[in-house]
Amino acid sequence: MTATARPDLYPTRVLGESVPQPRIDPTVWGNGPGPLSREQLERYESSGYLVLDGLLSDQEVKTYLAELQRLSEDPVLRASERVILEPEFDQLRSVFEVEKVSELFAELLRSPRLTDIARQVLDSEVYIHQSRVNYKPGFGGAPFHWHSDFETWHSEDGMRQPRAFSFSISLTENHPFNGPLMVMPGTHKSFIPTIGETPQNYHEESLRVASPSVGSPDQRHLTRMAEEHGIEQITGPAGSAVMFDSNLLHGSNGNLSPFARSNIFIVYNSVENKLEAPFAAPKPRPQHLSNREFPSASA
């Protein structure tokens, strides 16, 4: 007998009109104990994000900034597919799968101070779906357009449910003027399909351009969401972090200031939410963008 295909709970990359739907999955998946307090979990459930002050010490920030610099000067790494350059000039934008190229970052990404939070929120064992460091250099670091990560991970990677979230850990101060993360609180509770088919090898375009041609909600929906939920900037000192739900609408402006806005970015996914075939793309994205090896995050 042929197995019956499981239904697509979040259809996207549609032709025609985009019709938002209520999220049908929880944001906090369990009620067990862990590092986050009940108040913090309720705040995260409601707004879709939570700021964690002082996650890294001043000495750790210095150590990781030095490692960031080391990676930027590695010619072999720079020539690899893990590296994305800025769209307008020859500077590093992102380095993906950092746990494979840096023992320092691997140790942090698999540390209990992060993975214990992930297990508490997702109510399961977890693994690293994606990791990267973002450089966002001064005088031209490009913006990231409004989007839901889950929309991309669902359509292009085959992530069935939004049982995943991200940590963005600041290695430099987040000022209002150097392109900090912007979020629309509460938008994680609505799934907004995007319009248009996914082109072949679309990741080669979408990771480099400021305004990707596919994968962002249209202006009508973005305007309505901003009017209903507002827009908040996540500013704060180096060493602080923000965790945010995979379906939260977020983006960032370009960086015209002299001051870089660099961060470590980690996505934890539940092992019960392993990737399947893409729901709206010709084939899965490469391994360095969407992990299909499924090891434990603490392995």
**pLDDT tens digits, residue range 79-104?**
999 999 888 778 889 999 999 999 99
Instruction: With H, G, I as helix, E, B as strand and everything else as coil, classify residue 189.
Output: helix
The CA-atom distances, in angstroms, between 232 and each of 27, 150, 229, 246, 249 are 19, 20, 9, 17, 11
Give the per-residue pLDDT at 299.
55
Checking if the pLDDT of 147 tops 70, the result is yes
Q: Give me the pLDDT at residue 207, please.
A: 81
Average pLDDT, the chain: 94
* Confidence band for 213, pLDDT divided at 50, 70 and 90: confident
Least-confidence region, from 16-30, 204-218, 220-234? 204-218
Q: Which range has the worst mean pLDDT, 113-122, 199-208, 224-233?
A: 199-208
Higher pLDDT, 295 or 127: 127
| pLDDT band (50, 70, 90) for residue 296 | low
How much is the pTM?
0.95
User: What's the pLDDT at 90?
Assistant: 80
Question: Per-residue pLDDT averaged across 207-222, rounded?
Answer: 85
The pLDDT of residue 228 is 98
Angle CA 192–83–89, to nearest 5: 90
CA-based nearest residue to 234, from 206, 263, 274, 203: 263
Range 260-264 average pLDDT: 96
The pLDDT tens digits of the residues spanning 66-82 come to: 999 999 999 999 999 99
Q: Is the pLDDT of residue 1 over 50?
A: no
Confidence of residue 179 (pLDDT cuts 50, 70, 90): very high
The count of other CB atoms within 10 Å of the CB of residue 102 is: 22
Residue 3 has pLDDT above 90, yes or no: no
Mean pLDDT of 231-240: 98
Q: Write the CA distances from 238 to 53, 60, 138, 169, 235, integer angstroms.
A: 9, 10, 16, 8, 10
Q: What is the pLDDT at residue 81?
A: 93
